[in-house]
Amino acid sequence: MPEPIRAASAEILRRQRRYRFVVVAIGTLLVVLGLVVTAAWVRQILAILSVWPGFSSMALNTAFCFALSGLGLIVSVQSDRRRRMLAFLLFSLAASMSGQRLIEILFVGNQAQIVERFLAGLIVDPDFTAKINRGMAPNTAVIFFVANLSLAFALSGRAERSQLVQELVGYVVIGLGMAALAGYATRSEQGYQWGANIGMAVHTASGLVLFGSAMLARSWWLNPESRGRMPIWLPAVVCLTGLFVDLYTPLGVANGILYVPLVLASLWFGNKNAPFSFAFACSVLVSLGFFAVDRAGAGYWYEATNRAITIATLWLVALLVFYFLRKDSSLDAERIRFDSVIRNTPNAVIAINAEGLISLFNPAAEKMFGYAAKEAIGRNVRLLMPEPYHSEHDSYLDRYARTGEKHILGTTRSVSGRRKNGEVFPLDLSVSRLATDTTITFVGILRDISDRVAHKEQLKTMFRQLQAYTADLERSNADLDEFAYIASHDLKEPLRGLHNHSRFLLEDYESQLDEDGTRRLNRLVLLSQRMEKLVNDLLYFSRIGRQQLAIKRSDVNAIVGDVVSTMELYLEERHAKVQVEGRLPEIVCDALRLTEVYRNLITNAVKYNDKPDPIVTIGHLQQFTGNDGTSAHDVFFVRDNGKGIPSEFHEDIFRIFKRLEKPKDSDDGTGAGLTFVRKIIARHEGDIWLESEVGRGTTFYFTLGHKREDQNATA
């Protein structure tokens, strides 16, 4: 993991631990506060209940709500699922108690205190309860209900949304708690008492400030990255100041001026929804400032209009700040993405200003040129250039500044670079221009092509060697063809002499020779004849490779028909039959050479057939798939029902003068027929192969004009 990411992750973990500690600490204080006040009710300690003579007392159900809320906060920051469920139940119970109290105040009156009277009847002296108990204050009930409800929602809802709700409610709770404390400090009942209702106790107000702070800490524990760098006391002070100025300023003229900076303070927070949280908190405070003081006379509606305009202005500012934060967040995301791409791209990325000074030098550039970023940034880019680029670069920038003439912008070209050690190497350079109202930046993307250039030079060397080898091979083939032609032509004369002299000896001196001499002379005649056939086949083989093919469109049916008709007597003597499956197509080929292919294949199919009635089948396949998985299309075949050929000899039969066995009824074969067939098919850029089963026959397949797939034919 990169060091900046590791450091950022460690900082986030530290923040989370710190926020969890704050939540647990404040939760513990709230539990202690609730238990102490409950004990004071049981022990009838009035000094603890009201703190100061004449101040409002903390109600028993308020103490219970503090204990439940504090315990819920402690449990809610644990990762265990059961503990989080317990926290949900604790928050729900506190919200139910405070909600029930709100219903009593709204619909029955302050005197009906069902839950508190029930709790007090269990643990408190009834006379003491009747003496001081006025129940939970309306503002306290509202705060406990909303706060605990938001915390219960946070445990069951989505993290991002619940974090926003907690933060929003936390600010409101802190503001109302501090307003009550300030009301006690300034002897202003409007701060802690709503109208003629019961007032909030001073230690209740202190506990609520702590409760709101714990809610903020818990929301930041959920999402540490959204926590701003502004100290929490600053917006709290602004809230408090705004509320009091609002309470004591005629018609509330100054409240909008004071609350706008609080909404603007959300710029310091990472959460783009923070301005709406502040706007909501300020709207609540503005409304409290209006309803906490009795208004009468003609100025009532004037002030109400003024406050409505103030609230609308706050939300308008919040909306503007929201869009600013969202755009800033998008820019940050793009900046992070751009930085990630620049740092991780394998290409060197270098940016320079209009004077040619380097402003960006990514890690790939460090690796490519050998300079650290701190060594290169701020220096002229000529540092990385050999001559002549080193001398010409500044003049190019000057010419571009004067004329706007683009020389390399928007193109990719090959140039040379110079490493820190002085080594010059080739690279590809692509330059683009980024312009703002005040600055021009040129961004170059560079790629080291040393390996490519070396490979290209190697290919050039190999190509030259291949050209020389091809020329030698062509010359060698030409020499071999010429040698075969000359040798075969010159060998015929002594062979004819041997043949003729042997015949003369037999004709003139046969009566003077014994049986063995006659046999030997006859054998000499036969060998000379066979030798002449071999020489003729060798000469023909050399001609196949040298002569041009007479290519034209030909009907294969007609070619096969001509071959069969010329072999009619041969086939009758051997009781053989040739049959054609389907219609053979027309193709572009040398008809004379293809005739020879079919004649050789049919002759071999009959000559080496051990069946009493040899059958030769000729046909064509649009698509062929062999036993070895190879495939081809437009395949011709010649099939027989003979003895078959073992697989180990499938390649040997195509070698010149190679015969697997001597035919029983003939001695005139040379074993070159299949060699001629392969050579002719190779000249047609085709391929020939066979499939055979010993005892059942052989099938020769061949193509004309293309090779088999996944198979390289040997010509």
Please state which CATH number belongs to domain 344-452: 3.30.450.20
CB–CB of 418/391 below 8 Å? no
401 vs 439, more confident? 439
pLDDT of residue 35: 92
> CA 1, CA 594: separation in Å to the nearest integer?
70
Band of residue 657 on the pLDDT scale cut at 50, 70, 90: low
pLDDT of residue 712: 41
CB–CB of 151/166 below 8 Å? yes
287-292, long-range: CB within 8 Å, 24+ apart, which pairs?
Answer: 287/311, 288/176, 288/179, 288/243, 289/243, 289/246, 289/247, 289/252, 289/255, 290/252, 291/194, 291/195, 292/190, 292/191, 292/194, 292/195, 292/247
* Cα 447 to the center of its chain, rounded Å: 23
Of 271, 268, 274, 278, nearest to 329 by C-alpha is 271
Where does residue 319 rank: exposed (0-12), middle (13-18), buried (19+ CB within 10 A)?
middle
Cβ partners under 8 Å of residue 433, min gap 6:
409, 440, 441, 442, 443
- Residue 254, pLDDT > 50, answer no
Strands 615-625 and 688-693: unpaired
Band of residue 335 on the pLDDT scale cut at 50, 70, 90: confident
CA within 13 Å, CB half, 276 = 12
Q: What is the pLDDT of residues 35-51, one digit of tens each?
A: 998 888 888 888 888 87
Bridge partners (DSSP) listed for residue 630? none
- Three-state SS at 201: coil
Cβ partners under 8 Å of residue 250, min gap 6:
none
Mean pLDDT over 386-401 rounds to 62
Terminal Cα distance for the chain, rounded: 59
Bridge partners (DSSP) listed for residue 409? 431
Please report, as a single letter, which amino acid is at residue 629: G
Q: What is the CA radius of gyration of the chain?
A: 53
Residue written as token pair 């499956």: 581
Whole-angstrom CA distances from 8 to 1, 12, 216, 611 are: 11, 6, 22, 89
Band of residue 28 on the pLDDT scale cut at 50, 70, 90: very high
Mean pLDDT over 501-513 rounds to 75
Q: What is the pLDDT of residues 199-239, one digit of tens each?
A: 788 888 889 889 988 888 888 787 766 554 445 555 555 55
Of 588, 623, 609, nearest to 697 by C-alpha is 609
pLDDT of residue 253: 47
- Three-state SS at 684: coil
Q: What is the pLDDT of residues 612-652, one digit of tens each?
A: 899 999 999 988 887 777 788 889 999 999 888 888 777 77
Task: Give Dmax (Cα) for the chain.
Answer: 169
The pLDDT mean for the chain works out to 77
> CA 542, CA 483: separation in Å to the nearest integer?
9
Q: At what angle do helices 60-76 and 3-43 cross, to 10 degrees?
A: 160
Whole-angstrom CA distances from 518 to 404, 521, 526, 532 are: 105, 5, 13, 21
CB–CB of 27/73 below 8 Å? yes
pLDDT of residue 77: 87
Mean pLDDT over 163-189 rounds to 75
Mean pLDDT over 114-134 rounds to 68
Bridge partners (DSSP) listed for residue 349? 445
Whole-angstrom CA distances from 526 to 155, 505, 531, 532, 689 are: 109, 14, 9, 10, 34
Whole-angstrom CA distances from 376 to 187, 381, 394, 423, 431 are: 67, 8, 17, 17, 18
Whole-angstrom CA distances from 359 to 123, 251, 353, 421 are: 75, 57, 7, 22
Please state which CATH number belongs to domain 548-703: 3.30.565.10
> CA 316, CA 321: separation in Å to the nearest integer?
9
- Percent of the chain beyond pLDDT 90? 9
Within this chain, domains 344-452 and 548-703 share the same CATH topology? no
Band of residue 714 on the pLDDT scale cut at 50, 70, 90: very low
- Three-state SS at 355: coil
- Residue 294, pLDDT > 70, answer no
Query: How many of the other CB atoms lie within 10 Å of CB of 233?
Result: 12
Of 100, 124, 121, nearest to 112 by C-alpha is 100
For the chain, which residues make up each domain, given as ranges?
1-226, 228-337, 344-452, 548-703
Cβ partners under 8 Å of residue 94, min gap 6:
64, 65, 68, 69, 72, 144, 148
> CA 638, CA 96: separation in Å to the nearest integer?
97
Band of residue 396 on the pLDDT scale cut at 50, 70, 90: low
Bridge partners (DSSP) listed for residue 605? none
- Percent of the chain beyond pLDDT 70? 72
128 vs 441, more confident? 441
Kindly report the length of the chain: 715
CB–CB of 559/620 below 8 Å? no
Q: How is residue 189 written in tokens?
A: 């009942």
Of 498, 600, 451, nearest to 540 by C-alpha is 600
Cβ partners under 8 Å of residue 707, min gap 6:
632, 685, 686, 687, 713
Mean pLDDT over 534-562 rounds to 75
pTM above 0.75, yes or no: no
- Three-state SS at 269: coil
CA within 13 Å, CB half, 258 = 24
